[in-house]
Amino acid sequence: MRIESASANALPADLVAVAVPVFSGPEGPQPAAGVSVDLAGATVPTVLDPAWCKRQGFTGKVGQTVVFHAVGPATARMRTGDGTGTGDVSAARPDTVLVGVGEASALAGDAGLETLRRAAAASIRAIGDGGAAAFLLPDGIALPVARMAEAVALGAAMAGYRYETYRTGERPARLGRLVVATESPSEVIPAAEGVARGSRIADSVSLARDLVNQPPSSLTPWKFAELFVRRFRDVSQLTVEVWDAERIAAERLGGVLGVARGSSQPPRLVVVEYRPDRPMEVRGRVPHVALVGKGITFDSGGLSLKTASGMETMKTDMAGAAAVLCAVDALAALGAGLRVTAITPLTENMPGGEATKPGDVLTTRNGKTIEVLNTDAEGRLVLADALALAAEARPDAIVDLATLTGAAVVALGGDIAGLFGNDERLVAEVRAAGERAGEPSWPLPLPDDYRSHIDSEVADMKNVGRAGKAGSIAAAMLLREFVGAVPWAHLDIAGPARSDEQVRYLAKGGTGFGVRTLVELLTSVRFAESVVRDAGE
Ligand code: BES
Ligand code: MN
Ligand code: ZN
């Protein structure tokens, strides 16, 4: 689907549908947009008849839709035009799709943006296939037009996503083009900026979803690395380095090697550097952020083998790595002003004859030793090395994303990521960026008293905590040992990395969770200013 913007009185003539946002309210649902303009022959109501809405069960709550079909008999009685006349409506093309956006007062701030994403997604699903359709931006809302247009484009593009690589036979038809329409012609330029940004971010999110959805034996560590080598080869601001097993051994990444040992597929480690053409400066230097993503291309559990059902979705275990690299993909395209280093350890976790055994001790990049008591707690082993590498680069901050623990799903469910860190300001910035992006996370503590949960009898630490107790915290606690004094935030995305239903703008399968948070964070000027600290701060 192509997405563009236009003024509502200059819409293409060939629209199959126009989506009109509708507020809920005490007097019944009322249109929020574009009511006074000529919409290429569409019948767009200024006022909705409350009784009619009631019969339809349409209240205007977020994401609800009603479609007036343009052909065939009149489908509704409502007041039209300036709101004076009441009568049967026999609309000409295009169809009108009423889409609920909830209470007018709620269409503001971060929540308002998420409402628009959901409303755009609901509209796309209601419209179905066709050449082109329009979505009218609501009027008189306390949100910048560019941000609204971005949200609509992103919600629509994400809702249009399908993973079809392995489907034979005919592909279902889809909508070819969506026009985000503004009430006033002067808003078209900011709307176009928002649409461009939203569409570009959605492209990177789609790639992350594709990678998560790809079958694990077709996305091995080397193929994963190759894909980004090829994709980034011609991007002047990006350099990609791929470490093979030999280099990984030479660099003493004992955690990655320990996890990879049971697999016939050799591991890789991808390091991407983003150096902006137009860098921003904060207090005389360019902010530098390191991103780290867990890239287990398949997690069988290793010798601590998972159950059959526990393994079903474990191709998802590289979602952190995908999110990190796809965020860099978007940041380069958007021209972010910060310097970014992305590090993704990539390996399978398999139970081969050479596999690491419970009781084995691994020596990691920074020299610390980890006793492996459960080979299924492998994410923290590969992240230990990657975080240590990131810390060596002395960035202003490190943010890691990982499908790390089932316990995070128990605690927060499928929609919310667990958020940890060693720096309150950074954690607050990550949380706020996720909120703006529609990717919620919730902070969990790292109490020093729980450090004893990962005390080992033989090594510096063990890779499991206490059975049934704060499993996500124990994992994050181990990660903290590898970041030194660098401000660090960790998102445990085990829940939101995939969706088990088609809901909002998500499809079943990979969600690309984290891409939007990272793009929002790393294009935020406030974040850039907060992350560059003076000595002693
Ligand atoms: N990749 C899993 C975590 C996971 C579980 C992600 C479910 C998404 C859904 C991770 O490697 C793992 O297996 N963690 C173990 C740790 C335990 C052995 C200490 C877990 O959560 O059970
Ligand atoms: Mn595991
Ligand atoms: Zn895992």
Q: Closest Cα to residue 307, out of 169, 406, 443? A: 406
Cβ–ligand 1 contact at 378 (below 6 Å):
yes
User: Ligand 2: distance of its center to the CA of 493 in Å?
Assistant: 13
Query: Which residue puts its alpha carbon closest to atom 13 of ligand 1?
Result: 376
Cβ–ligand 1 contact at 374 (below 6 Å):
yes
CB 338 within 8 A of CB 415: no
Residues paired with residue 2 on neighbouring β-strands, in sequence order: 177
Task: Tell me how far apart the alpha carbons of residues 154 and 158 are, in angstroms, rounded to a whole number.
Answer: 6
Work out which ligand 1 atom sits closest to the CA atom of 405. 21
The size of the chain, in residues, is 537
**What is the sign, positive or negative, of the torsion defined by CA atoms of 216, 220, 221, 224?**
negative
Work out which ligand 1 atom sits closest to the CA atom of 471. 19
Cβ–ligand 1 contact at 409 (below 6 Å):
yes
Query: Which residue puts its alpha carbon closest to atom 7 of ligand 1?
Result: 406
CA dihedral 49, 50, 56, 59 (to 10 degrees): 130
Residues with C-beta atoms within 5 A of ion ligand 3: 296, 299, 317, 379
Work out which ligand 1 atom sits closest to the CA atom of 403. 6
Task: Tell me how far apart the alpha carbons of residues 98 and 85 are, in angstroms, rounded to a whole number.
Answer: 20
Residues with C-beta atoms within 5 A of ion ligand 2: 299, 376, 378
CB 378 within 8 A of CB 259: yes
Give the DSSP letter of residue 534: P
CB 367 within 8 A of CB 313: no
- Return the best residue to mutate from 300, 316, 376, 412 for the ligand 1 pocket (most ligand atoms within 8 A of CB): 376
Exposure string over 45-80, b if 16+ CB within 10 A, otherwise e: bbbbbeebbeeeebebebbbbbbbebeeeebbebbb
To the query of whether residue 380 is one of the catalytic residues in this protein, the response is: yes
Could you tell me the two tokens for 536? 């002693």
- 53 dihedral zone (left: phi>0; alpha: psi -120 to 50; beta): alpha
Cβ–ligand 1 contact at 98 (below 6 Å):
no
Q: Closest Cα to residue 427, out of 412, 439, 410, 445? A: 445
Cβ–ligand 1 contact at 396 (below 6 Å):
no
Work out which ligand 1 atom sits closest to the CA atom of 317. 1
Work out which ligand 1 atom sits closest to the CA atom of 463. 19
Cβ–ligand 1 contact at 407 (below 6 Å):
yes
Cβ–ligand 1 contact at 406 (below 6 Å):
yes
Residue 155, CA distances (Å) to 63, 332, 471 in order: 11, 22, 34
Domains (range + CATH), the chain: 2-199 (3.40.220.10), 214-507+516-531 (3.40.630.10)
Task: Tell me how far apart the alpha carbons of residues 361 and 357 are, in angstroms, rounded to a whole number.
Answer: 9
Tens place of pLDDT per residue across the chain (537 aa):
999 999 988 888 889 999 999 999 898 999 987 554 445 455 566 678 889 889 989 999 999 999 987 653 333 333 333 333 344 444 446 888 999 999 999 899 999 999 999 999 999 999 999 999 999 999 888 999 999 999 999 999 999 999 999 999 998 899 999 999 998 899 999 999 999 999 999 999 999 999 999 999 999 999 999 999 999 999 999 999 999 999 999 999 999 999 999 999 999 999 999 999 999 999 999 999 999 999 999 999 999 999 999 999 999 999 999 999 999 999 999 999 999 999 999 999 999 999 999 999 999 999 999 999 999 999 999 999 999 999 999 999 999 999 999 999 999 999 999 999 999 999 999 999 999 999 999 999 999 999 999 999 999 999 999 999 999 999 999 999 999 999 999 999 999 999 999 999 999 999 999 999 999 999 999 999 999 987 666
Task: Tell me how far apart the alpha carbons of residues 113 and 121 are, in angstroms, rounded to a whole number.
Answer: 12
User: Ligand 3: distance of its center to the CA of 379 in Å?
Assistant: 5
Q: Please tell me which residue in 306, 357, 480, 533 is annotated as part of the active site.
A: 306
According to DSSP, the β-strands at 488-492 and 397-402 are: parallel
Cβ–ligand 1 contact at 372 (below 6 Å):
no
Query: Which residue puts its alpha carbon closest to atom 5 of ligand 1?
Result: 406
- Return the best residue to mutate from 300, 371, 372, 405 for the ligand 1 pocket (most ligand atoms within 8 A of CB): 405
Output the DSSP codes for 26-83.
TT--EE-S-TTS--TT----SS--HHHHHHHT----TT-EEEE-SSSS--EEEEETTT
Cβ–ligand 1 contact at 403 (below 6 Å):
yes
Q: Please tell me which residue in 209, 380, 436, 462 is annotated as part of the active site.
A: 380
Entry pTM? 0.95
